[in-house]
Chains A and B, each alone.
Chain A
Amino acid sequence: MLWVDQYRPRTLDDLHYHKGLSARLKSLASSGDFPHMLFYGPSGAGKKTRISCTLRQLFGPGVEKLKIDQRVFLSPSKRKLEINLVQSNYHIEITPSEAGNYDRVVIQELLKEIAQTQQVDLNAKQKFKVVIINEADSLSRDAQAALRRTMEKYMSNLRIILCANSTSRLIAPIKSRCLLMRVAAPSEEDMMDVLQNVAKRVGFDLPPDAADKIVDDAEGNMRKAILVLEALKMQSPNLNGPLSIAKPDWETYCHKVADLIIGEQSPARIMEVRSKFYELLSHCIPPTVILKTVAERVVDKVDESLKADIMHWAAFYEVRMRNGNKKIFHLEAWVVKVMSLYKHFFYGIDMSDFD
């Protein structure tokens, strides 16, 4: 197994950073008055790890016996929706966004079904079951609305743990029913600690320089840092001397796109960029990630006075991408905008002021 998964902490005590949060979770779990919770924070910060540690604290090692199940729901138009459930005797984990627009159906049927049955295991530490809802920020408004009443009505049988990247897409009634748990990205020292710890458990020495470099590259994403560490170790076993961290394939590809945008500003070039975007999108790179990566690269390379504008438009079109259907339209609109800005700057005159 990869190191990330092999050396994942299993109990709240094993966690390396955010000690305060761990302590709070521990006391919550032992108090017997466990609330609904919403874990949020950037990816690779350790949300899921903390959730599973909390569950273990609540129910004991039994929760680690996971099995996967697939359930079929019927959408209102009689289409079959397949949903994967990960469950133990004490909890169940769903990703409603798998059902796309029909996530409401999943939430309604599944939650009610779970909520209406009590915990059967008499030896269970807690009387309630826990439902973990992944990717809660991509729940549709309807699904969130469906969640509201259920959360209150079935409190005796059921606790819900939502897991999201940001709370901005969640409606206020949901937020007010949950205890918000922010899992921030680890600081550089925290990451350094974890890396050293992993190295120790694997059984090799990690030179501080290499650790520095990895932490720098990972930008607060613990998962990425450990994966990079393993890749580097495979590449050059002694980890001394100059190291070059290989970027993931999609990132180098995005950088190429950024270079294309700066290299030339013409319709032909836009079409070229469009086909590259299609390539990225069709290979499951989320559009927001594409926009972010390309924009950061473009901003790195242009004049100081353009940076703010480019970022402004990137933010502008990112919102539109979330609201719209066809992501490529907005990506392309941003590219054209950037090219136009860049060219106007290049000729040193801002024509739009004159009109």
Chain B
Amino acid sequence: MRYKKCLNLVAVHQSRRQRSQGELHSRQLHQRLIDILHSWIAIKAAKSAPPPAHGSKVVPDGEPNCLAGLAFVFTGELSSFARDEAIDIAKRYGGRVTLQPSSKTSFVVLGDNAGPAKLAAIKKHGLNMLNEDQFLNLIATRKAGHVDEKTKKKLAKEQEAIRQAAKEMEKKEKEDAKKEDKQDGNLSSQLWTTRYAPQSLKDVCGNKSQVEKLQQWLHDWPSSLKSGFKKPGKNGANMFRAVLITGSPGVGKTTSAHLCAKLEGFTPIELNASDVRSKRLVESGLNINNTSLDGYLHGDKASVSITDKSCIIMDEVDGMSAGDRGGVGALNALIKKSMIPIICIANDRQAQKLKPLIHTTFSIPFQKPPVNMIRSRILSIAYKEKMKIPANVIDQLITSAQSDIRQVLNMLSTWKLSSDTMDFDESKSLAKMNEKYTVMSPFDITTKILGPYLFSPSARESLGDKMDLYFQDHSFVPLFIQENYLRSQPARMRNLEGPEKILKHLELMDKAASSLSDGDLVDSLIHGPEQHWSLMPLHAILSTIRPSSSMYGNGVHYGGPNSMAFPQWLGQNSKQNKLMRQLGDIQAKMRLKVSGDKSEIRHSYIPAFHPHLVQPLAENGTTAAEKVIRRMDEYYLSKEDWDTIVELGVGDHKDEIILKKIPPATKTAFTRKYNSSEHPIAFHKAHDLGKAPKKIAGGPTPDLEEAYEVDEIAEELSEEDEKKEKNKDDLSADKLIQAPKKKKVTNTASDKAKNKIKR
């Protein structure tokens, strides 16, 4: 029925064509139309085919660890698993998953539409390829012990190392227990994080070089103090009286600081967020009574000996907040004159609060250690605690905790209360429960939204999950989407060829663009006078999700030809605002002579001014300057306005092109000539006249977090005020009264006199 209708339409098209064009041409056209129609029907058929079966395939119950020793690369879109699920399956059975194919890859699991770069790499290395079914088959049939000798040996060696480490730990604990008092020396009451805190530098996981730097700095401290911090040392650290260790939580910053201090024979005095660190207290010599000299107070005189060498560990510096007003400023002042080393520890180096410390401290950033650095330590702890947890499960825990060692230990100790074993799925759910909320950058979000997976048929994300991406940064994400939606190669037009492909592409872009336009209307309701913030979910859909749902695909950061761009809108908008303001100035000045409004000035007058104000300078050079200036005076325009007029040109009149045509000598002559004469002024701007309102002195200062900064600004202000006071009678400071310019006439007159003498 529909087919018939289509044929009718074709016929109509054909007859319409015949009237307008030649017979031959129309026959060709007819053929083409028929072709298009057929392919269209094919597309229809393809569309109606059932979508890739999501979750239709059952994962076979393979032997545990049956994929051990194998390295997998997943590429393309699998039909019944999302990418993440497939990776999880491989990991569950002990396989290793890498992102890029290399010579070490054992299998590549290939889905639809694999990226061309990956395909090339596969070809280059001659790798084994599996499709989805073969991959599942592999799990079902492969035996666990099926590992070649080399990996076997490696595994055995690892096991041995773990056992060794665990034994050592036990030995040490026993020794400690002997020394401890029998009553309170109950180790099992300690938290795992303290019990297994590193005892030596080799126990610290990752950041080896940073820890060494810290130790070196402490080691060199006495000599650098003697030299007055003039010798930079190996890495420049010895110029500083303090270091600032930054890094995400749980990577061992505090532990390393304590450890290094102990090893170098310093007595650490720790101040953290639990202590009050306000300006007054920090200044009054660091309320030492309040510090945690735990080791000393515990009577354990052997382990922590009070020496004449002590150092301050200022932990959680970015935690100095409301109660600690001026604390950072005082700390900074303290650092400048300190005679003992100060170690500051914070999470975010970029934080506004830490700005004062940047120049006075040596920065030691701690990275998140990679999984393999933590794994063995956690494994040996688990072994010691008699928990049976395979390596791949540990890996999973570490990855999902984002290399936060403390969190992994806490998770394990909690788990130990109920069970001694853990399998892959349990670790996953455990990690999910302890998930930390992380903020993605707009770049990552855009890559994810416009990428090929979020909207693919096998994706598991709900609409709410997609909207969450928008809410991560609701002001930037829509701009990023708008800037980049054209850069992808939509997955929806993948199976098409020729004209249909082009038409489909345009259709998709049209859908996306009109949805963006809808989104902007919603945005203007949100940010308009009535502030309908409740419309934000709608804005999320219209501005972000709908455009991406039609345009998703390879392209933006997925190996496509176009890399992602930062939204131009921001820069262009501020440029527009700036030029608009300048144009407003021009209009206000010209208003006495001209009736037009701002846009009328731009439309008609600026092109009309071109032959009067700009062209003469380009063609006749300096001689035209006088005429141009006269013309400007008629409209009360200043030299700055002339610049604006040039800047406002587009196309052939673009400022770069125009300014190139005017020789620099003419330009300077023009400026000089303009400045040397008097000009009529339409009016004075309000801010030229009035004095800036003085700051009201006294009164209660508002309770601000960054109060120390406010103090500084206020000081600066008062200084400026003083200056102003001084200059009160100075005429040159007043913009309205111009000091009479020393005329060049005297100069030239003397020149003439000289010439006369010469003659």
Contact = CB atoms under 8 A, between A and B. Distances in A.
Interface of A: 1-2, 4-5, 8, 43-44, 48-49, 52, 66-72, 82, 84, 86, 95, 98, 101, 134-135, 140, 142, 221, 223-224, 227, 230-231, 234-235, 248-250, 252-253, 256, 265, 267, 270-271, 274-275, 278-286, 289, 317, 320, 323-326, 328-330, 332-333, 335-337, 339-340, 343-344, 347-349, 351-354
A86 B587 CA distance: 12
A223 B158 CA distance: 88
Nearest to A324: B520
A329 B506 CA distance: 16
Contact of B517 (A70, A82, A329): A329
B498 to A, nearest CB: 10
Contacts of B687: 72, 82
A351 B576 contact: no
Interface stretch (B55-63, B221-229, B392-400, B589-597): B589-597
A278 B567 CA distance: 12
A253 B651 CA distance: 6
Contact of A5 (B486, B529, B593): B593
23 contacts: A1-B593, A4-B594, A68-B588, A68-B683, A70-B588, A82-B685, A82-B686, A227-B605, A250-B650, A265-B502, A271-B487, A282-B575, A283-B576, A283-B648, A320-B517, A325-B527, A329-B517, A336-B512, A336-B513, A337-B510, A339-B506, A340-B503, A349-B37
Contact of B597 (A134, A234, A289): A134
A9 to B, nearest CB: 11
A contact face: mostly helix, strand, loop, or mixed: helix
Contact of A323 (B36, B521, B648, B651): B521
Interface in B37-82: 37, 40
Residue of A227, A267, A289 with most partner-chain B CB within 10 A: A267
B204 interface: no
A267 to B, nearest CB: 4
Interface string B1-15: 000001001000100
Given A1-B634, A84-B588, A333 B572 contact: no
A320 B521 CA distance: 7
B608 A227 contact: yes
A275 to B, nearest CB: 7
Given A140-B529, A142-B529, A284-B648, A340 B506 contact: yes
Contacts of B635: 1
B92 interface: no
Interface stretch (B270-278, B434-442, B460-468, B577-585): B577-585
A354 B6 contact: yes
B278 to A, nearest CB: 31
A326 B597 CA distance: 22
B40 A348 contact: no
B492 interface: no
Contacts of A2: 605, 608, 612
Contact of B519 (A82, A323, A329, A348): A329
A282 B519 CA distance: 22
B629 to A, nearest CB: 14
Interface in B486-529: 486-487, 499, 502-503, 505-507, 509-510, 512-514, 516-517, 519-521, 523-524, 527, 529
Given A250-B651, A267-B509, A333-B517, A283 B579 contact: yes
A282 B593 contact: no
B521 A324 contact: yes
A270 B651 contact: no
B222 to A, nearest CB: 56
Interface of B: 6, 9, 13, 17, 29, 32-33, 36-37, 40, 482, 486-487, 499, 502-503, 505-507, 509-510, 512-514, 516-517, 519-521, 523-524, 527, 529, 568-569, 572-573, 575-576, 579-580, 583-584, 588-589, 591-600, 602-608, 610-612, 634-635, 648-653, 682-687, 690
Contact of A68 (B509, B576, B592, B598): B592
Contacts of A267: 486-487, 505, 509
Which A-B residue pairs are the 8 nearest by beta carbons? A48-B595, A248-B607, A253-B651, A68-B683, A249-B653, A333-B513, A333-B517, A324-B520
B604 A282 contact: no
A14 B597 CA distance: 23
Given A265-B506, A348-B33, A325 B524 contact: yes
B599 A256 contact: no
Given A5-B594, A282-B579, A271 B599 contact: no
Nearest to A351: B503
Contact of B40 (A101, A271, A351): A351
A191 B29 CA distance: 50
Contact of B514 (A48, A328, A337): A337
B528 to A, nearest CB: 8
B514 A333 contact: yes
B597 A95 contact: yes
A326 B520 contact: yes
B603 A289 contact: yes
Contacts of A278: 568, 572
B36 A349 contact: yes
A339 B506 CA distance: 7
Contacts of B520: 320, 324-326, 329-330
Given A227-B605, A252-B651, A337-B514, A348 B593 contact: no
B599 A286 contact: yes
A250 to B, nearest CB: 6
A351 B41 CA distance: 12
Contact of B529 (A84, A101, A134, A339): A101
Contacts of A281: 572, 576
A44 B599 CA distance: 12
B209 to A, nearest CB: 44
A284 B581 CA distance: 10
Given A320-B517, A348-B17, A227 B685 contact: no
A81 to B, nearest CB: 10
Contacts of B572: 278, 281-282, 328
Contact of B599 (A4, A252, A284): A284
Contacts of A282: 572-573, 575-576, 579
Nearest to B519: A329
Contacts of B521: 320, 323-324
Given A70-B684, A323-B524, A348-B17, A8 B599 contact: no
Q: Which of B520, B529, B652, B687 has the most CB of A within 10 A?
A: B520
Contacts of A4: 594
Nearest to A270: B486
Contact of B524 (A84, A317, A324, A351): A324
Contacts of A340: 503, 506-507, 509-510
Contacts of A43: 596-597, 600
A8 B592 contact: no
Given A142-B529, A354-B6, A348 B29 contact: yes
A336 B13 contact: no
A343 B502 contact: yes
B614 to A, nearest CB: 11
Contacts of B584: 84, 98
Contacts of A67: 683
Contact of B591 (A84, A230, A333, A336): A84
Contacts of B610: 249
Nearest to B648: A283
A176 B517 CA distance: 34
Nearest to A275: B568
Nearest to A267: B486
Contacts of B604: 44, 221, 223-224, 227, 248
Contacts of B603: 224, 248, 250, 285, 289
B709 to A, nearest CB: 21
Given A267-B509, A348-B13, A349-B36, A285 B602 contact: yes
Contacts of B576: 281-284
B514 A253 contact: no
